[in-house]
Structure 1
């Protein structure tokens, strides 16, 4: 049976083409949503860009008919812009509030047909809708099953003879039931818990498991556990064009990404520049506009990146760490930017790190990854359990989205970190809070 979906504003900001993804059903966009979108159209950020995409696509549909009457889509669905109806919500709701005006349209359709569903990324609006007896759902397109998310590693229990053969021949036949290119394998002895070996499924041949590369310490940063060692191998492999690193605070995601990026750019001269960017989403209450130039504003948002870079510089150049850091910035070998300023650019032969990607939507991460030019490597890091964007969750953010979509690609590698190395306190915070 066909359904009627009433969309909230945040759904279209999250995915500007969302109204075209409900197959042969009817999609209703309340006029209050159009008015709310209009307030964001001049914004220079990703939100403003998405709003303009919505406006253009709706304008294109007008060529096929009147949107107030309903326009058919290629899937035989209907897109309709709904004008206001008499405010019919119970006392306590206000026709001044945008959310309540949108709810009023959903309420109208609920009385008209029992197959209507309110779709919103706003949890509180969904709760209000249910309090009114309406059906309410989150926007599910792009969501992943976090319990089945690819970890990048697998464990295989084998006889001692298999481990001995692996060390002797540097590879063995891949006997995993299912594996992906660039997946790491921990070979464990089934008779001796202390006996193990570390291997990797090659990007160009999934029929074997090969020995991993010797341990390296780019810019004085050495791996402290097997997950960091796996990550470094991916970060230093020029055949891998996209790497995702997922883990809680203090697991070393940003630190080892920066050290490997500087090694490949400054020492090996493979890339022209290291570009580091992160989403500008405040933790807690926003303090408003920040003074100063763009670089000064970014310093406030990118403190974690600067802290890690200074730590690396002190390791590599203990006598002149800060001056070397400034020199790399001045020589255009190192660039720190917000994701907003990456949009519209083409970045060839860059080593690009996107930090805190859990705060990006799938559409935003797609926009950023599409900036990669010829010869560019992109590393995406984040913690899906530490999301500051109110309309994203662990299953719908850009980081987990690309992990789920890219697994199995020969140019892609992923590692999920489980061990905190920052400090004993950070480890306890991660485990207990």
Structure 2
């Protein structure tokens, strides 16, 4: 039985999300409506970060179609790679402007409607094929269904999990007491740590730097390695973990204790903090950064950046220097600084002194491309609004001796085209969970106030 031939019609936001997306559909055909090319053309010259993605997509399409005749472009150009035995489909451009408006269910006044009409026309013309419109616009998916299109999908090739509840938390909690689950154990102690070697079957699906805790509040450990037979666990000593301190801040719960352990570990290059509003992500990251820059001299400076909502992606309309323009977006950092120094006699003077002493810099995420950041701690806030490619751009800026702290709340996504399962934050949590130089912690529990806690649980 031969597999049903599928034709994918791509919306503009798919190529902006991933410029080479048209290469991801294996043996199936891909159709790009002319309206999509028009939208890419209008976006490519704008003063926005997304303009680069539009230009990359246009060049990628041109590379495929450069030697094709007009007839071949309309009928389809093979996407098969040289020296590859893998089956491939064809890429074609569809002139949706030639459609008769009387024959399609939607008005041609909007670009979205023309793209939907393309898919509906192909559905009526090629009844032997499955026509699927691929878009990240939720409302467009609803309109397409309402207009009579049978199949509409989100772009999911960069989606690593199906439900946010399966996202790695960074720790495993055993029922009851930890040692009740251990039948055999070999322990060794060096100058710094005690290591336990237990049977691999205790935690078959473990990953590097995964924290281990129990309901009895007696044990805290961290996975340090494994083989087919044994699992190696570093005993962190729960009391010692909860007594860790950075810039006057101590953990209020075990989740903050694990986060602070990762933040203060010089062997961890990437720390990812997830959790609800008010769980302490920003405060812990900033306190740990100040501790390591000013007190321990492990790093030379602190660079703070974050994504800005697309409605205000440009910061040019704000007065002042780059730091002054970014200040409204980074008020979470300044709020946390005030909390750390609220007992000082002259808080304003203390903040200026500390920001100068720590060489604290506010940078726009739009200007991170092309940089090489050395010997610094980079605090990247609000990561849930970034795509996987944007986060890759930032992570690859980090040079020797740099630590990156990514934090975000997947329940507060502002981007029009991202969901919790397609957010770049979710992507890096899953991609880096097996990397020995990274650690992920889900800060489970609101500690900001009882008001914030009640709101998080009930609103």
With normalisation by structure 2, the TM-score equals 0.85
Residue 308 of structure 1 deviates from its aligned partner by 1.1
| Preserved contact between residue 101 and residue 107 of structure 2 (Cα < 8 Å) | no
What are the within-5 Å matches in structure 2 for residues 145-160 of structure 1? 145=162, 146-156=164-174, 157-159=177-179
C-alpha displacement at 1:202, in angstroms?
A: 2.2
Give a deviation string over 1:183-206, Cα, whole Å, max 9, x none. 111145xxxx4x621111126998
Distance in 2 (alpha carbons) for counterparts of 1:107 and 1:160: 61
Other-structure match for 1:210 = 234
Cα deviation per residue 1:319-348 (whole Å; 9 max; x = unaligned)?
A: 344334334555671111221121221112
Q: Which residue of 2 aligns with 1:19?
A: 22
Give the superposition deviation at 1:427. 0.2
Give a deviation string over 1:127-160, Cα, whole Å, max 9, x none.
1111122111111111123222111111234446
RMSD: 2.7
Q: Which residue of 1 aligns with 2:84?
A: none
SS in 1 for 2:318: coil
Distance 1:166 1:232 in 2: 28
Q: Give the Cα separation in 2 of the matches to 1:107 and 1:158.
A: 58
Where 2:328 maps in the other structure, the secondary structure is helix
**More moved, 329-338 vs 147-156:** 329-338
Q: Distance in 2 between matches of 1:256 and 1:200?
A: 20
- Structure 2 residue matching 1:232: 3-state secondary structure: helix
Q: What is the distance in 2 between the residues matched to 1:365 and 1:60?
A: 26
Runs of 5+ consecutive residues of structure 2 not aligned to the other structure: 82-86
Correspondence 1:413 to 2:413? no
How far residue 365 of structure 1 moved from its aligned partner, in angstroms, is 1.1
CA offset digits 1:349-384 (Å, max 9, x no partner):
211111110001111111111111122111111011
Paired residue secondary structure (1:218): coil
Out of 219-228 and 267-276, give the one that drifted further: 267-276
Taking structure 1 as reference, are residues 90 and 304 closer, same or farther at Cα in structure 2, changes over 3 Å only?
farther
Structure 2 distance, partners of 1:267, 1:201, is: 28
The partner residue of 2:329 within 294, 301, 322 is 301
2:57 alignment partner, one of 47, 54, 57: 54
The aligned counterpart of 1:70 is 76
**Structure 2 counterpart of 1:137:** 153
The CA distance in 1 between the partners of 2:51 and 2:355, in whole Å, is 30
2:384 to 353, 358, 364: 358
Partner residue in 1 for 2:95? 83
> Is residue 384–residue 410 contact of structure 2 (8 Å, CA) maintained in 1?
yes
Report the TM-score, using the length of structure 1 for normalisation.
Answer: 0.90
1:125, distance to aligned residue in structure 2 (A): 0.7
Which deviates further from its counterpart, 50-59 or 65-74?
65-74
Shift in Å, 1:310: 2.5
1:107 equivalent in alignment to 2:120: yes
Measured in 1, the distance between the counterparts of 2:102 and 2:333 equals 49
Counterpart for residue 306 of structure 2: 278
Deviates more, 1:62-71 or 1:358-367: 62-71
CA contact (8 A) 1:271 1:349 kept: yes
In 1: Cα distance, 2:23 partner to 2:415 partner: 24
Q: In the superposition, relative to structure 1, how do residues 87 and 339 fare at CA in structure 2: closer, same or farther (>3 Å)?
A: farther
Work out the CA distance in 2 between the residues paired with 1:96 and 1:396: 30
Corresponding residue SS for 2:43: coil
SS at match of 1:55: helix
Q: Equivalent residue of 1:300, what SS?
A: coil
Counterparts of 1:376 and 1:148, CA distance in 2: 30
- 2:383–2:407 CA contact under 8 A, matched in 1: yes
In structure 2, distance between residues paired with 1:44 and 1:368: 19
Partner Cα separation in structure 2 for residue 383 and residue 35 of structure 1: 35
- Report the number of matched residues: 424
Distance of aligned partners of 1:128 and 1:219 in 2 relative to their CA distance in 1, 3 Å threshold: same
Give the 3 Å change call, closer, same or farther, for CA 101–91 of structure 1 in structure 2: closer
Greater shift in the superposed pair: 323-332 or 358-367: 323-332
- Unmatched tracts of structure 1, length 5 or more: none
Compared CA separation, residues 33 and 332, structure 1 to 2 (3 A): farther
Q: Which residue of 2 aligns with 1:38?
A: 41
In structure 1, distance between residues paired with 2:62 and 2:219: 59
Distance 1:87 1:367, change over 3 A: farther
Could you tell me how far 1:91 is from its partner in structure 2?
8.1
Aligned residue runs from structure 1 range 394-405, under 5 A = 394-405=420-431
**Counterparts of 2:286 and 2:17 in 1: how far apart (Å)?**
30
Per-residue deviation, residues 209-262 of structure 1 (Å, max 9, x unmatched)? 222273321111111100001011111111111111110000001110111111
Q: Distance in 1 between matches of 2:315 and 2:350?
A: 33
